[in-house]
Every structure is written in structure tokens, then in C-alpha cells.
Amino acid sequence: MEKVLIVDDEDVVRDVLATLLKEENYCVGLAENGARALEMVREGDYGVVLLDLMMPEMDGFQVLEAFRKLEGAPETIVITAYGTIEKAVQATKLGAFHFITKPFKNDELLLLVKTALEQHRLRAENARLRASLSERRSCRNIIGKSAAMQQVFDLIHRVAPGRSTILIQGESGTGKELVAKAIHAASPRAGAQFVAINCSNIPSDLLESEIFGHVRGAYTGATNTKKGLFEVADGGTLFLDEVTSISLEMQAKLLRVIQEREFRRLGGLENIKVDVRIIAATNTDLQAAVARGAFRDDLYYRLNVIVVKLPPLRERTEDVPLLTEHFIQKYCGENGRDLCTLDPGAIRVLMDHSWPGNVRELENAIERAVVLCPGKVITADLFPKNLTTLPPASAAGEAFADSIPLRDRVGRFEKDLIVAALEKTDWNQKKAAALLHVNPTTLSEKLKRLGIRPAR
């Protein structure tokens, strides 16, 4: 049943309108003043509000102004006995759906209510579609089908709608900035700026000016007032990469901005209010930095509200083929050439490499191979030397003595290593995964693929 709220300070008007609407099977709410109306709209899913303009304390215009700040606000039909063109224009500018004067015809009012409800349904559906589209688009640049990455995608979509500070942890090259952008794109702030800064790339004496801005004359060479990144990102998201490189003095100032949502430009006296969501990232152990006094514990707790941990590529090797295909398409397109394919030997090299540089290292290897490829098939010799370096000659000679294919030999070694780890941990998969430095989910999948079971 669709809900309509009647807001009027006169009992008789509320009763008459309620009777009329209930006869049309609407669920009706009653509010005797503007403050109560706001409270009921926040608590209930009202599609339409019938609002009297002339009320004590909080008039209809003030109620309309307050409705504008609410997400998914109802359509408002303004009813008044003192109708003028000026008031109608003002009400419309404040978001009113329609303006009607007393006395009105019942049929006219009911038609307006029906039309306003249809408008509200359309807006709600459009909002849902936009949110769904934003959610799908937000992660389109993050490639992965592994269980570990599916958990990351799920967390992105759960945390994006809020305003809490987020900390992204992951090794260099795992895609921390891509995740930050995805959170921003799936959030209500998507229409505002996403501003990124790598704190380790800027000298500490210049970082304050870069983040907070400065006034003219703040230091030698400051010939003009300059906005900082907090002001540029107002209403949006500020991504602080490598946050552990910030000096302790700057950490104190950053903490104040998070707590007070205001700051001063370098050399300035005016407090500037901002609405910025902070996403920080680090490839080091932040708790260890706190323990050795390199990072403030109070700032750590402010940043550590929600943590997104990105798995290294070696813990999600099942994503390597998918990532490789993506990068081949990307760099073939950028270089204006036909789509390349990988020969079996090249695929084996990619699957067997440990990827210490993570996704960034894989991307660089594929870009190099695409550029150097003389035809349409990428072979292993096109990869960087560190991917294809063979073991010493004596070891290689022993390895080829029994002519076992590389894939089988690697698979046998992997199986023996996993079994050894399981036996050492009494077949505790979680402990074995920690010993092998892999995700427990990844280990479980390898056990199934390699057919490893405890001996009976």
C-alpha cells in the first residue's frame, strides 16, 4: 500500500484529507508540524507529502529545504489558502512537485497524488539502476575470478556507500589505487573528484602545502594563494598512497582534519570546512610502524576503521590467464596491431613465475612482449630475462636426464612441497597455508586440483 503524509497544523484539514485518501486505499500518516513531518519522512517510506505552507515555528518552505537534503525524498504537493505566483515559484525552486490552492477539487488533488507517486517510483527506480550500473562499472578495471578477489569485490560494494575512512593494505603492484577508485566510483561521491597523491614521492617540507594549500607569502616563492588537495577533493575522495611515509608532524595535522573536518592553509588563519572521504594505502605493516614510533597510534586507529587486504598475485595464480588476456587486448589496441596469442611455452612461464612485482610486473611483461612480438604469437623469449632464466647447467642437466616435461616436473614439486607442509602441521590446512605463504582458499583449490588427501 502506497504511503502519503499529510502535514498541516489544523486538525480539521488533516482529518478531511485523511478521509479522502483512505477512501482511495492509501496508507496515510499525519503530522501537525514541520519537525514531526521530517521525523516521519526519515522513519517511513512515504512517496508523497501534502504540505501546508503556513505553519508556526517551521513553515512549509523550511520543510521543503530540509527535504532537499534527504536521499530518496518524497514528492511534495504544497497546499495553501494564500496562493501567489511568487510563492508557487519559490516552492518549485525548493523542489515541490506541484502547488495547489484552497479550496481545491477532490478529483484534482487525487490526480496530483497519483501522478506524484508515479514520479516518485520512477525516481527510485532510476536511482536503483544508477547504483547498479555504478557498482558494475566500479570494478571493471580490477581483473580476477579467484575466491580471494571475489571477497575484495564484495567488500568494495559493502563499504562504498558509507563515509568511513578506509585502509587498503597490499604489496607494491597489487592495485591499491584501482581499488580506491572502485570504492569512490561505487559511492554517492562518484560525481565529485577522486584525488590521489603518493605521499612518498613528495618531500616532507612540500607535502603540507600540497595537501592543505598555502596563502600568498606563506614561504619564499609562495607568490599566490593555492588550494590544497583537501579543497580540490571537497565532496569527493582523497586517496593517500604510501601513508606511512608522512612525517609525524604531518600525521598530527592529518588526524585533526579527520576528526574536525576542517583545516588551515599553510600560513593561513582561516579554518576551512571540507567534506572529504579519506582512503589510505600502505605496502608496509602499519602496526609495526606504530610499534617502532614511526606512525602515530591515534592516527592508525582513525585510518584502520575498515581494512581492505589485497592478495599478492602468487596467492591467486588462477587469475594470471585472465589478467594476461586483458593486458594483451589493451596493448595490442594501444599499439594498433592485431590481437596476439600466447604459445603453450609462454603460458607455462607465466603460470610458474612467483610475480614478486605482482600485477604491475605481469602488465609490464605483457606490454614488452606485445611491442616486441614479430607476428601474432607471443613466445617465452619475448619476456624479461628474470621470467625465463634457467637453473645452472649442472642442475639443468640432471633435470632433463629423465625427460619429464616441465609442467609435470613443476606439478610434482608443488605437490611434494604442499604435502610436506601439511605433514609438518598435522594436516592443518590453515597452518600449512601460512607456512607456504598462500591464501587458505588457494591451498584448498590446489589440494583438489592435485588430488592430495591425508593418508588413511
Q: Which DSSP letter does residue 47 get? A: S
Q: What pLDDT sits at residue 180?
A: 95
Give dist(CA 398, CA 401) in Å, integer: 5
Identify the H or E element spanning 209: helix 204-212
Q: Grid coordinates representing 188?
A: 554517492
Has residue 300 been placed in a domain?
Answer: yes
Give dist(CA 224, CA 206) in Å, integer: 15
- Range of lowest pLDDT (211-225, 239-253, 280-294, 366-380): 211-225
Q: What pLDDT sits at residue 396?
A: 44
Q: Please state, rounded to an integer, the average pLDDT across all residues of the chain.
A: 85
Cβ distance 59 to 90 under 8 Å? no
Q: What pLDDT sits at residue 195?
A: 95
Q: Which of 311, 343, 360 is the last residue of a domain?
A: 311
Q: Does residue 252 share a domain with residue 103? A: no
- Range of lowest pLDDT (85-89, 238-242, 341-345): 85-89
Q: pLDDT-based confidence at 405, cuts 50/70/90?
A: low
Q: Which of 255, 279, 311 is the last residue of a domain?
A: 311
Cβ distance 169 to 310 under 8 Å? yes
Cβ distance 5 to 29 under 8 Å? yes
Q: Does residue 419 share a domain with residue 331? A: no
Q: What pLDDT sits at residue 194?
A: 93
Q: pLDDT-based confidence at 437, cuts 50/70/90?
A: confident
Q: Does residue 306 share a domain with residue 344? A: no
Q: Which of 285, 311, 337 is the last residue of a domain?
A: 311
Give dist(CA 324, CA 201) in Å, integer: 29
List, in sequence order, every residue forming a beta bridge with 75; answer none if it has no partner. 48
Q: Does residue 292 share a domain with residue 334? A: no
Q: Does residue 288 share a domain with residue 335? A: no
- Domain interval for residue 145: 139-311
Q: What pLDDT sits at residue 127?
A: 63
Has residue 331 been placed in a domain?
Answer: yes
CATH code at position 366: 1.10.8.60
Mean pLDDT confidence for 430-446: 81
Q: pLDDT-based confidence at 77, cuts 50/70/90?
A: very high
Has residue 396 been placed in a domain?
Answer: no
- Range of lowest pLDDT (139-148, 248-257, 375-384): 139-148
The total number of structural domains in the chain stands at 4
| pLDDT digit string, tens, across residues 114-158 | 999 988 888 877 666 555 555 455 567 788 889 999 999 999 989
Q: Grid coordinates representing 44?
A: 517511513
Q: Does residue 149 share a domain with residue 256? A: yes
Q: What pLDDT sits at residue 385?
A: 86
Higher pLDDT, 252 or 104: 252
Q: Does residue 149 share a domain with residue 240? A: yes
Mean pLDDT confidence for 5-33: 91
Give dist(CA 329, CA 337) in Å, integer: 10
b/e code 364-399 from CB counts within 10 Å (16+ = b): ebbbebbeebeeeebbbebbeeebeeeeeeeeeeee
Q: Does residue 16 share a domain with residue 87? A: yes
Q: Does residue 180 share a domain with residue 108? A: no
The residue to which cell 607476428 is assigned:
375
Higher pLDDT, 59 or 166: 166
Higher pLDDT, 128 or 396: 128
Q: Does residue 322 share a domain with residue 265? A: no
Q: pLDDT-based confidence at 404, cuts 50/70/90?
A: low
Cβ distance 35 to 58 under 8 Å? yes
Mean pLDDT confidence for 435-448: 80
CATH code at position 166: 3.40.50.300
Q: Grid coordinates representing 70?
A: 534527504
Give dist(CA 418, CA 432) in Å, integer: 8
Helix residue ranges per DSSP H, 275-341: 286-291, 297-303, 320-334
Q: Does residue 415 share a domain with residue 336? A: no
Mean pLDDT confidence for 409-435: 78
Nearest to 308 by CA among 439, 200, 437, 175: 175
Q: pLDDT-based confidence at 394, cuts 50/70/90?
A: very low
Q: What pLDDT sits at residue 105?
A: 87
Task: With 0.85 as the threshold, say if the pTM is over it.
Answer: no
Give dist(CA 214, CA 226) in Å, integer: 5
Give dist(CA 364, CA 367) in Å, integer: 5
Q: Does residue 299 share a domain with residue 319? A: no
List, in sequence order, every residue forming a beta bridge with 51; answer none if it has no partner. 7, 78
Q: What pLDDT sits at residue 410?
A: 64
